[in-house]
Amino acid sequence: MAEIKIRRAFEKDKDRILEISAKIWEGDDYIPFVLEEWLKNIDSEFVVAEFEGQIAGFARYARYSEDFGWLEGIRTDPGFQNLGIGKVITEYFINMAQKEGVKKLALSTYIDNRASIHIIESKGFVKTASFMYFEHEIEQGDLNPNENFSYIEKICPEEAFEFIENSQFLNLSKGLIPAGWKFYPFELVKGKFKDKIEHVSGIRKEGKINSLACFSKSPESDNDILLLFLDGQIEEMKRLLRYVLANGKEHSFIVATIPGFHDKKVKALEVLKSYNFRTWNNFNEDTFLYIKEL
């Protein structure tokens, strides 16, 4: 059998990468939105896998810190399945992370991606946390032009840190902040808080933060707002969610990935349900975070 070769991706590979991406998730892949950045970003490793002279797959690795690495976008052309493309790419990045001294290598995957789950589990990745992926199309009916949001205030990072660190949300997410399909250790987010989270809004009761919402424009789609964190009291969270919707009115969708598994689900689930957020797995876990200790 011909050898699978791994090399860095270049601008000349763009059309072929997009061709493969168009065959993934029924053409609804996020890769087209991030491809230019991945090709230009010298702080990450974006590679293609070649088989018999053709690009058969690709993936990206980014080092979030000295200790933590992130693997994403592992794609194989359906016409090259069962050749071990995904396995070779995964092994390549495990070796790279080990050489760099990374302690933890992480990735996320969807519940139906059984081939990927089989590969990563065979390579020692362990399912660490479970999440539910939600989407909501922003409609005019979501917005009340006369609603007064004066009771919602911008929260400073230090107060937000304390609230998040003691939240049910962070406890169930195993200390990670979800941003769509990416997950950032909160300890790292704290160091780059303003870069990672654009809006931090809360409601106080008797001088203390009662509920908190964090949201940002998605780096992976011009049409999406990412709801990164939502916790607190139910009615206050509903008010905060209306505030997020109002701030996202120039966009098409709000995306939220919230932690939960079996009977342990965050209170934000009830809030998202009340605003008709759409889920892919009937309000059950469908997105898994895997971590490999190196």
Q: Which whole number is the average pLDDT over 233-240? A: 96
Largest CA distance in the chain: 70
Which segments within 170-238 are labelled E, that is strand? 176-179, 182-185, 199-205, 208-217, 224-231
Burial class (CB in 10 A: 0-12, 13-18, 19+), 8: exposed
Q: What is the mean pLDDT of residues 23-35?
A: 87
In the prediction, which pLDDT does 193 show?
57
Structural domains in the chain, CATH included, are: 4-102 (3.40.630.30), 132-285 (3.40.630.30)
Question: CA-CA distance, 207 to 200, in Å (whole number)?
Answer: 17
pLDDT confidence of residue 77: 96
Paired sense of beta strands 104-110 and 287-293, if any: antiparallel
Q: State the average pLDDT over residues 213-234.
A: 90
> What is the rounded (10 degree) CA torsion for 182, 229, 268, 265?
50
The mean pLDDT of 165-184, rounded to a whole number, is 93
Tracing tokens 């939600």 back to the chain, one arrives at 134
Per-residue pLDDT reduced to its tens digit, 244-286: 988 887 778 899 999 987 677 889 999 999 999 999 888 889 9
Task: Report whether pLDDT(1) > 60.
Answer: no
229 versus 140: which is more confidently predicted? 229
Q: Lowest mean pLDDT: which of 36-45, 193-202, 231-240, 244-253?
A: 193-202
Using 50, 70 and 90 to split pLDDT, how confident is the model at 195?
Answer: low
* pLDDT (0 to 100) of residue 83: 94
* 205-209 average pLDDT score: 93
Which one is predicted more confidently, 212 or 1? 212
End-to-end CA distance of the chain: 30
Mean pLDDT over each residue of the chain, to the nearest integer: 91
pLDDT in tens, 114-171: 889 999 999 999 999 999 999 999 887 677 878 889 999 999 989 999 999 999 999 9
The pLDDT-based confidence of 194 (bands split at 50, 70, 90) is low
Segment 43-87, tens digit of pLDDT: 899 999 999 999 999 999 999 999 999 999 999 999 999 999 999
